[in-house]
A = this chain, B = another copy of it.
C-alpha cells in the first residue's frame, strides 16, 4: 500500500505545494512562503507531503499540477497571478483542468474597490481572469483575487498577500487531526544516539521519530523530534525517550518546538 493509499484510508488530509518562481531558482530571491505555509498547514491538521519549486513556464506548471492533484487532498500554488507577461499561472491552471479562462465579474468588482477606471488597464484586468468553474479567494490587501478550482488553491507569491489569501481560503478546507510534536535537544552527535533512537522507533511505530543533526560552535548535536496525531502515544514515546537519555547520561534539554 502506498503512502497515498494509506493516507486516504486513514482519513489523513494531505497537501502538496507548488512554488512558481524563477527568481527563487536563480537564487536572487529567498523563498519566504514555504516555511509559513508548512507551519500553517501543520497547525490546521493538513499534512504537507511535498513541495516543488518550478519556473514560470506553462508546461512546467501544467505537468506539476496534474501530477500532484490526484495524489493529495489539496494542491496549493503560489506566484504568477499578477498582471505582467511572465504571469502565466492562471492560463496554466486552466489548461491543466482543460477549461477556458474567463473574466470574473466579482473579481472586477473587487478590483474596483481599489483601482480607478483609468487604473483598470487591460494589464490589470488580467488579474480578474480565472479558470472557468473556479471560486475566488479574497485578497484584502491589493484586491486582485486568488482562486480555487477542484482541489487546487492558487495564491499570490508576495508573502503578505499570500498570507491573507491563506486565511481567506482556510475555512473552506477539510482539516485532519493536527499533528502534535515534541522535540528534545541532545548535545551529542547523532552517532552516539543512533542505536537508542532506532530501538525507540521500533517500540513506538505509531510515532514518527526524526533525528536532525546540527552543527553549532564547532560541535555536532542532535534534535530529536517526535510526531503523532495521538497525544497518549506521543507522551508514551516521549517518556521512553527521556528514560533512554537519562540511562545513557547524555546532556539534553527540551527543544524549542
Contacts and interface: CB of A to CB of B under 8 A. Distances in A.
B190 A82 contact: yes
A39 B27 contact: yes
Interface string A133-175: 0000000011000000000000001111100000000000000
B84 A194 contact: yes
A190 B83 contact: yes
A212 B29 contact: yes
A207 B193 CA distance: 52
Given A158-B215, A197-B85, A225 B23 contact: yes
Count of chain copies: 2
Interface stretch (A46-54, A91-99, A241-249): A46-54
Given A28-B225, A124-B191, A195-B123, A23 B220 contact: no
Interface string A37-69: 111111000011111111111011000000000
A187 interface: no
Given A54-B50, A123-B195, A227-B26, A3 B214 contact: no
Interface size class of A (residues with CB under 8 A): 35 or more
Main secondary structure of the interface of A (DSSP, over half): mixed
A239 interface: no
A26 B38 contact: yes
Given A25-B49, A215-B160, A194 B85 contact: yes
A181 interface: yes
A232 interface: no
A161 B218 CA distance: 11
A211 interface: yes
A191 B39 CA distance: 32
Interface string A70-103: 0000000000001111110000000000000000
A179 interface: yes
A30 B35 CA distance: 6
20 contacts: A3-B59, A25-B47, A26-B38, A26-B48, A27-B48, A28-B181, A31-B35, A51-B51, A51-B52, A82-B211, A84-B194, A84-B197, A85-B197, A85-B201, A87-B211, A123-B191, A123-B194, A127-B191, A158-B214, A160-B215
Interface of A: 2-3, 22-31, 34-42, 47-57, 59-60, 82-87, 115, 119, 121-124, 126-127, 141-142, 157-161, 179, 181, 183, 189-195, 197-198, 201, 208-215, 220, 225, 227, 257
